[in-house]
Amino acid sequence: MAGIYLHIPFCKKACHYCDFHFSTSIRYKDEMIAAIRAELIFQKGFLDHAPIETIYFGGGTPSILSADDLKLIIADIYENFTVTESPEITLEANPDDLHPQKVKELKQTLINRFSIGIQSFFEEDLIWMNRAHNSSEAESSVKRVQDAGFENITVDLIYGYPLLNNEKWESNIRQVIEFGVPHVSAYSMTVEPATALASFIRKGKQEAMNEAQSADQFLMLMESLQEGGFEHYEISNFARPGHYSRHNSNYWNGVPYLGIGPSAHSYKDNVRQWNVSNNTHYMDSIEKGIIPAELENLTEENQINEYIMTSLRTAAGMNLEKITEKFGTAYRSEIENDLARFAENNWIDQSDSLVTLTRNGKLYADHIASGLFVG
Protein backbone atom coordinates (compact mmCIF):
# COMPACT_ATOMS: atom_id res chain seq x y z
CA MET A 1 0.00 0.00 0.00
CA ALA A 2 1.06 3.63 -0.51
CA GLY A 3 -0.19 7.20 -0.42
CA ILE A 4 -0.08 10.33 -2.53
CA TYR A 5 0.31 13.83 -1.10
CA LEU A 6 -0.41 16.86 -3.30
CA HIS A 7 0.91 20.24 -2.19
CA ILE A 8 -1.27 23.12 -3.39
CA PRO A 9 0.95 26.20 -2.82
CA PHE A 10 -1.63 28.99 -2.60
CA CYS A 11 -3.21 30.90 0.29
CA LYS A 12 -5.45 33.97 0.45
CA LYS A 13 -3.43 35.40 3.35
CA ALA A 14 -0.14 34.63 5.07
CA CYS A 15 -0.82 33.46 8.63
CA HIS A 16 1.70 35.10 10.95
CA TYR A 17 2.98 31.77 12.31
CA CYS A 18 3.13 29.69 9.12
CA ASP A 19 6.37 28.66 7.41
CA PHE A 20 4.92 26.20 4.89
CA HIS A 21 5.61 26.91 1.23
CA PHE A 22 2.85 28.98 -0.41
CA SER A 23 2.10 32.11 -2.43
CA THR A 24 -0.69 34.61 -1.81
CA SER A 25 -0.95 35.22 -5.56
CA ILE A 26 -3.10 32.76 -7.51
CA ARG A 27 -2.27 34.36 -10.85
CA TYR A 28 -0.65 31.16 -12.09
CA LYS A 29 -3.07 28.69 -10.48
CA ASP A 30 -4.06 27.05 -13.77
CA GLU A 31 -0.41 26.67 -14.80
CA MET A 32 0.37 25.13 -11.40
CA ILE A 33 -2.47 22.63 -11.75
CA ALA A 34 -1.17 21.67 -15.18
CA ALA A 35 2.32 21.16 -13.73
CA ILE A 36 0.98 19.03 -10.86
CA ARG A 37 -0.96 16.88 -13.32
CA ALA A 38 2.15 16.48 -15.46
CA GLU A 39 4.28 15.53 -12.46
CA LEU A 40 1.81 12.80 -11.55
CA ILE A 41 2.56 11.22 -14.93
CA PHE A 42 6.33 11.72 -14.63
CA GLN A 43 6.35 10.17 -11.15
CA LYS A 44 3.94 7.28 -11.70
CA GLY A 45 6.75 4.73 -11.38
CA PHE A 46 8.12 6.06 -8.10
CA LEU A 47 5.94 3.83 -5.91
CA ASP A 48 6.67 0.70 -7.97
CA HIS A 49 2.96 0.26 -8.75
CA ALA A 50 1.97 -0.14 -5.08
CA PRO A 51 -1.81 0.31 -4.62
CA ILE A 52 -2.81 3.80 -3.50
CA GLU A 53 -4.99 3.76 -0.38
CA THR A 54 -4.77 7.44 0.63
CA ILE A 55 -4.78 10.71 -1.31
CA TYR A 56 -4.18 13.95 0.59
CA PHE A 57 -4.56 17.50 -0.70
CA GLY A 58 -2.47 19.76 1.55
CA GLY A 59 -0.78 23.11 1.33
CA GLY A 60 -1.11 25.96 1.33
CA THR A 61 -4.86 26.03 1.06
CA PRO A 62 -6.09 23.35 -1.35
CA SER A 63 -9.72 24.40 -0.81
CA ILE A 64 -8.84 27.36 -3.05
CA LEU A 65 -9.11 24.90 -5.93
CA SER A 66 -12.48 24.44 -7.60
CA ALA A 67 -14.30 21.13 -7.53
CA ASP A 68 -13.50 20.76 -11.23
CA ASP A 69 -9.77 21.26 -10.52
CA LEU A 70 -9.90 18.54 -7.88
CA LYS A 71 -11.81 16.19 -10.18
CA LEU A 72 -9.14 16.53 -12.88
CA ILE A 73 -6.29 15.76 -10.47
CA ILE A 74 -8.11 12.80 -8.90
CA ALA A 75 -8.97 11.44 -12.35
CA ASP A 76 -5.28 11.62 -13.30
CA ILE A 77 -4.38 9.62 -10.18
CA TYR A 78 -6.93 6.94 -11.05
CA GLU A 79 -5.64 6.83 -14.62
CA ASN A 80 -1.95 6.51 -13.73
CA PHE A 81 -2.01 4.54 -10.47
CA THR A 82 -3.84 1.57 -9.03
CA VAL A 83 -6.22 2.95 -6.40
CA THR A 84 -7.80 0.69 -3.77
CA GLU A 85 -11.53 0.21 -3.64
CA SER A 86 -12.16 2.53 -0.67
CA PRO A 87 -9.36 5.11 -0.51
CA GLU A 88 -9.25 7.88 2.05
CA ILE A 89 -9.23 11.16 0.07
CA THR A 90 -8.64 14.20 2.28
CA LEU A 91 -8.98 17.89 1.47
CA GLU A 92 -7.47 20.47 3.79
CA ALA A 93 -9.90 23.38 3.84
CA ASN A 94 -10.14 26.85 5.29
CA PRO A 95 -13.55 27.67 6.78
CA ASP A 96 -14.06 30.71 4.52
CA ASP A 97 -13.86 28.48 1.44
CA LEU A 98 -16.60 26.15 2.64
CA HIS A 99 -19.55 28.29 1.59
CA PRO A 100 -22.82 26.50 0.64
CA GLN A 101 -22.20 26.34 -3.12
CA LYS A 102 -18.62 25.11 -2.70
CA VAL A 103 -19.66 22.35 -0.31
CA LYS A 104 -22.40 21.32 -2.75
CA GLU A 105 -19.84 21.12 -5.56
CA LEU A 106 -17.35 19.18 -3.42
CA LYS A 107 -20.07 16.64 -2.74
CA GLN A 108 -19.83 15.75 -6.44
CA THR A 109 -16.13 14.83 -6.14
CA LEU A 110 -14.49 11.75 -4.59
CA ILE A 111 -13.33 13.77 -1.55
CA ASN A 112 -14.49 11.84 1.51
CA ARG A 113 -12.57 13.47 4.36
CA PHE A 114 -12.14 17.11 5.38
CA SER A 115 -9.37 18.64 7.47
CA ILE A 116 -10.78 22.03 8.50
CA GLY A 117 -8.33 24.63 9.78
CA ILE A 118 -10.37 26.21 12.57
CA GLN A 119 -7.43 27.05 14.92
CA SER A 120 -9.74 29.01 17.26
CA PHE A 121 -13.38 29.99 17.62
CA PHE A 122 -12.46 33.41 19.02
CA GLU A 123 -12.44 36.39 16.67
CA GLU A 124 -9.55 38.21 18.36
CA ASP A 125 -7.38 35.10 18.15
CA LEU A 126 -8.05 34.66 14.43
CA ILE A 127 -7.19 38.31 13.79
CA TRP A 128 -3.98 37.94 15.81
CA MET A 129 -3.02 34.91 13.69
CA ASN A 130 -3.97 36.76 10.47
CA ARG A 131 -6.32 33.96 9.47
CA ALA A 132 -8.54 34.42 6.40
CA HIS A 133 -11.73 33.33 8.19
CA ASN A 134 -13.73 34.74 11.10
CA SER A 135 -15.28 33.09 14.15
CA SER A 136 -18.71 32.78 12.53
CA GLU A 137 -17.21 30.92 9.57
CA ALA A 138 -15.28 28.69 11.97
CA GLU A 139 -18.55 27.40 13.39
CA SER A 140 -20.71 27.37 10.26
CA SER A 141 -18.16 25.56 8.09
CA VAL A 142 -18.16 22.45 10.26
CA LYS A 143 -21.95 22.32 10.46
CA ARG A 144 -22.28 22.92 6.72
CA VAL A 145 -19.97 20.04 5.83
CA GLN A 146 -21.78 17.76 8.26
CA ASP A 147 -25.19 18.77 6.88
CA ALA A 148 -23.95 17.88 3.39
CA GLY A 149 -23.42 14.32 4.59
CA PHE A 150 -19.66 14.29 5.19
CA GLU A 151 -18.91 12.37 8.37
CA ASN A 152 -15.14 11.92 8.26
CA ILE A 153 -13.99 15.33 9.48
CA THR A 154 -10.96 16.49 11.43
CA VAL A 155 -10.59 19.94 12.97
CA ASP A 156 -7.30 21.75 13.63
CA LEU A 157 -6.75 23.77 16.81
CA ILE A 158 -3.75 25.76 18.08
CA TYR A 159 -2.79 26.37 21.72
CA GLY A 160 0.00 28.01 23.68
CA TYR A 161 -0.15 31.60 22.41
CA PRO A 162 -0.53 34.77 24.51
CA LEU A 163 -4.20 35.54 23.77
CA LEU A 164 -5.36 32.05 24.68
CA ASN A 165 -6.04 31.80 28.40
CA ASN A 166 -7.14 28.46 29.85
CA GLU A 167 -10.81 29.43 29.88
CA LYS A 168 -10.77 30.17 26.15
CA TRP A 169 -8.83 27.00 25.44
CA GLU A 170 -11.32 24.93 27.40
CA SER A 171 -14.11 26.57 25.40
CA ASN A 172 -12.44 25.71 22.08
CA ILE A 173 -12.02 22.06 23.11
CA ARG A 174 -15.58 21.83 24.40
CA GLN A 175 -16.98 23.30 21.19
CA VAL A 176 -15.16 20.75 19.04
CA ILE A 177 -16.45 17.90 21.20
CA GLU A 178 -19.99 19.25 20.94
CA PHE A 179 -19.73 19.35 17.14
CA GLY A 180 -19.34 15.59 17.21
CA VAL A 181 -16.41 15.49 14.80
CA PRO A 182 -14.50 12.19 14.97
CA HIS A 183 -10.97 13.59 14.82
CA VAL A 184 -9.01 16.53 16.25
CA SER A 185 -5.47 17.69 15.50
CA ALA A 186 -4.00 20.21 17.93
CA TYR A 187 -0.63 21.92 17.79
CA SER A 188 1.34 24.12 20.13
CA MET A 189 2.13 27.52 18.64
CA THR A 190 5.74 27.40 17.49
CA VAL A 191 7.82 30.34 16.34
CA GLU A 192 9.56 29.53 13.06
CA PRO A 193 12.50 31.81 12.17
CA ALA A 194 11.28 33.18 8.83
CA THR A 195 7.71 34.01 9.90
CA ALA A 196 6.03 37.31 10.69
CA LEU A 197 5.49 36.12 14.26
CA ALA A 198 9.24 35.63 14.75
CA SER A 199 9.85 39.12 13.38
CA PHE A 200 7.28 40.65 15.75
CA ILE A 201 8.95 38.97 18.72
CA ARG A 202 12.45 40.07 17.68
CA LYS A 203 11.24 43.68 17.36
CA GLY A 204 9.49 43.61 20.72
CA LYS A 205 6.03 44.01 19.17
CA GLN A 206 4.93 40.64 20.46
CA GLU A 207 5.79 38.72 23.63
CA ALA A 208 7.46 35.34 23.27
CA MET A 209 5.50 32.11 23.63
CA ASN A 210 5.30 30.68 27.15
CA GLU A 211 6.41 27.06 27.45
CA ALA A 212 4.65 26.55 30.78
CA GLN A 213 1.38 27.78 29.30
CA SER A 214 1.77 25.43 26.34
CA ALA A 215 2.47 22.48 28.63
CA ASP A 216 -0.56 23.24 30.83
CA GLN A 217 -2.84 23.54 27.81
CA PHE A 218 -1.51 20.31 26.29
CA LEU A 219 -2.34 18.50 29.54
CA MET A 220 -5.82 20.07 29.47
CA LEU A 221 -6.24 18.92 25.89
CA MET A 222 -5.29 15.32 26.64
CA GLU A 223 -7.57 15.10 29.65
CA SER A 224 -10.60 16.76 28.03
CA LEU A 225 -10.50 14.86 24.74
CA GLN A 226 -9.91 11.51 26.37
CA GLU A 227 -12.84 12.18 28.70
CA GLY A 228 -14.81 13.08 25.56
CA GLY A 229 -14.25 9.65 24.04
CA PHE A 230 -11.17 10.35 21.91
CA GLU A 231 -8.13 8.10 21.71
CA HIS A 232 -4.77 9.89 21.85
CA TYR A 233 -3.12 7.90 19.07
CA GLU A 234 -0.33 10.35 18.15
CA ILE A 235 1.15 13.32 19.99
CA SER A 236 -0.91 15.91 18.09
CA ASN A 237 -3.83 13.71 17.02
CA PHE A 238 -6.94 12.42 18.72
CA ALA A 239 -9.67 10.28 17.19
CA ARG A 240 -12.82 8.49 18.13
CA PRO A 241 -12.44 4.71 17.67
CA GLY A 242 -12.17 3.78 14.01
CA HIS A 243 -11.37 7.30 12.80
CA TYR A 244 -7.58 7.47 12.83
CA SER A 245 -6.15 9.37 9.85
CA ARG A 246 -5.07 6.59 7.51
CA HIS A 247 -2.81 8.90 5.52
CA ASN A 248 -0.91 10.35 8.47
CA SER A 249 -0.77 6.98 10.23
CA ASN A 250 1.02 5.61 7.17
CA TYR A 251 3.66 8.36 7.53
CA TRP A 252 4.36 7.28 11.10
CA ASN A 253 4.42 3.60 10.14
CA GLY A 254 6.93 4.02 7.32
CA VAL A 255 4.52 3.31 4.45
CA PRO A 256 5.78 4.67 1.08
CA TYR A 257 4.27 7.89 -0.24
CA LEU A 258 4.67 10.13 -3.25
CA GLY A 259 4.68 13.91 -2.86
CA ILE A 260 3.54 16.01 -5.81
CA GLY A 261 3.91 19.78 -6.15
CA PRO A 262 6.48 22.36 -5.01
CA SER A 263 8.11 21.50 -1.64
CA ALA A 264 6.39 18.09 -1.49
CA HIS A 265 8.35 15.19 0.01
CA SER A 266 8.34 11.52 -1.05
CA TYR A 267 9.59 8.35 0.64
CA LYS A 268 10.15 4.70 -0.25
CA ASP A 269 12.69 1.98 0.55
CA ASN A 270 14.76 4.31 2.75
CA VAL A 271 15.02 6.89 -0.01
CA ARG A 272 13.73 10.41 0.64
CA GLN A 273 13.01 12.88 -2.13
CA TRP A 274 11.84 16.49 -1.96
CA ASN A 275 10.77 18.98 -4.61
CA VAL A 276 12.07 22.53 -4.90
CA SER A 277 10.20 25.12 -2.78
CA ASN A 278 9.79 27.66 -5.56
CA ASN A 279 6.67 27.85 -7.72
CA THR A 280 8.33 29.34 -10.81
CA HIS A 281 11.28 26.95 -10.73
CA TYR A 282 8.93 24.01 -10.18
CA MET A 283 6.65 24.88 -13.10
CA ASP A 284 9.54 25.69 -15.45
CA SER A 285 11.25 22.39 -14.66
CA ILE A 286 8.10 20.33 -15.13
CA GLU A 287 7.46 22.06 -18.45
CA LYS A 288 10.92 20.87 -19.56
CA GLY A 289 10.14 17.33 -18.40
CA ILE A 290 12.48 17.56 -15.41
CA ILE A 291 11.39 16.69 -11.87
CA PRO A 292 12.92 19.47 -9.72
CA ALA A 293 13.82 17.26 -6.77
CA GLU A 294 16.72 16.30 -4.57
CA LEU A 295 17.21 12.78 -3.26
CA GLU A 296 18.77 11.32 -0.13
CA ASN A 297 19.61 7.71 0.69
CA LEU A 298 19.08 7.18 4.39
CA THR A 299 21.92 5.52 6.33
CA GLU A 300 21.21 2.83 8.92
CA GLU A 301 21.53 5.44 11.65
CA ASN A 302 19.14 7.76 9.78
CA GLN A 303 16.61 4.94 9.50
CA ILE A 304 16.81 4.03 13.18
CA ASN A 305 16.53 7.66 14.31
CA GLU A 306 13.57 8.18 11.99
CA TYR A 307 11.88 5.15 13.54
CA ILE A 308 12.61 6.36 17.08
CA MET A 309 11.17 9.80 16.34
CA THR A 310 7.98 8.64 14.61
CA SER A 311 7.18 5.58 16.72
CA LEU A 312 7.52 7.35 20.07
CA ARG A 313 4.95 9.91 18.91
CA THR A 314 2.33 7.17 18.57
CA ALA A 315 0.28 5.24 21.10
CA ALA A 316 1.70 2.03 19.59
CA GLY A 317 5.16 3.10 20.73
CA MET A 318 8.69 2.00 19.82
CA ASN A 319 9.30 -1.73 19.43
CA LEU A 320 12.90 -2.61 20.29
CA GLU A 321 12.47 -6.04 18.73
CA LYS A 322 11.92 -4.38 15.34
CA ILE A 323 15.24 -2.57 15.73
CA THR A 324 16.96 -5.85 16.63
CA GLU A 325 15.46 -7.70 13.66
CA LYS A 326 16.40 -5.05 11.12
CA PHE A 327 19.62 -3.55 12.48
CA GLY A 328 21.07 -5.90 15.09
CA THR A 329 21.62 -6.01 18.86
CA ALA A 330 24.30 -3.32 19.13
CA TYR A 331 21.94 -0.48 18.27
CA ARG A 332 19.29 -1.91 20.58
CA SER A 333 21.75 -2.04 23.48
CA GLU A 334 22.75 1.58 22.88
CA ILE A 335 19.11 2.67 22.96
CA GLU A 336 18.29 0.60 26.06
CA ASN A 337 21.19 2.18 27.93
CA ASP A 338 19.79 5.63 27.20
CA LEU A 339 16.24 4.68 28.19
CA ALA A 340 17.11 4.38 31.88
CA ARG A 341 17.32 8.12 32.57
CA PHE A 342 13.92 8.75 31.01
CA ALA A 343 12.38 5.93 33.02
CA GLU A 344 13.70 7.58 36.21
CA ASN A 345 11.72 10.72 35.32
CA ASN A 346 8.59 8.62 34.73
CA TRP A 347 8.53 9.76 31.11
CA ILE A 348 8.38 6.31 29.55
CA ASP A 349 6.68 2.98 30.12
CA GLN A 350 8.49 -0.16 29.02
CA SER A 351 6.96 -3.60 28.76
CA ASP A 352 9.40 -6.15 27.34
CA SER A 353 10.33 -4.72 23.92
CA LEU A 354 7.67 -2.02 23.77
CA VAL A 355 8.41 1.56 24.85
CA THR A 356 5.69 4.21 25.08
CA LEU A 357 5.53 7.71 26.50
CA THR A 358 3.65 8.47 29.70
CA ARG A 359 1.33 11.45 29.81
CA ASN A 360 4.10 13.60 31.29
CA GLY A 361 6.57 12.09 28.84
CA LYS A 362 4.49 13.38 25.94
CA LEU A 363 5.43 16.89 27.03
CA TYR A 364 9.05 16.03 26.19
CA ALA A 365 8.57 13.78 23.15
CA ASP A 366 11.15 15.48 20.92
CA HIS A 367 13.69 15.72 23.75
CA ILE A 368 13.29 12.04 24.58
CA ALA A 369 13.57 10.96 20.94
CA SER A 370 16.71 13.02 20.33
CA GLY A 371 18.21 11.64 23.54
CA LEU A 372 17.76 8.11 22.15
CA PHE A 373 19.18 8.79 18.70
CA VAL A 374 22.10 6.56 17.71
CA GLY A 375 25.32 7.71 16.15
Please check whether residue 152 lies inside any domain of the structure. yes
Residues 206 and 73 in one domain: yes
Please check whether residue 278 lies inside any domain of the structure. no
Residues 362 and 229 in one domain: no
**Geometric angle at alpha carbon 193, from 276 and 123, rounded to 5°:** 105
Split into its structural domains, the chain has a count of 2
pTM of the model: 0.96
CATH number for the domain harbouring residue 314: 1.10.10.920
State the chain's mean pLDDT as an integer. 96
Helix axes 320-327, 300-312, angle to 10 degrees: 170
Please check whether residue 27 lies inside any domain of the structure. yes
Q: What is the mean pLDDT of residues 169-195?
A: 97
Q: Which of 223, 252, 281 is the last residue of a domain?
A: 252
Residues 311 and 236 in one domain: no
Range of the domain at 71: 2-252
Please check whether residue 6 lies inside any domain of the structure. yes
Q: Is the peptide bond before 117 cis (omega within 30 degrees of 0)?
A: no
Please check whether residue 283 lies inside any domain of the structure. no
pLDDT in tens, 237-287: 999 999 999 999 999 999 999 999 999 999 999 999 999 999 999 999 999
Are the C-beta atoms of 39 and 80 separated by less than 8 Å?
no
pLDDT in tens, 111-146: 999 999 999 999 999 999 999 999 999 999 999 999
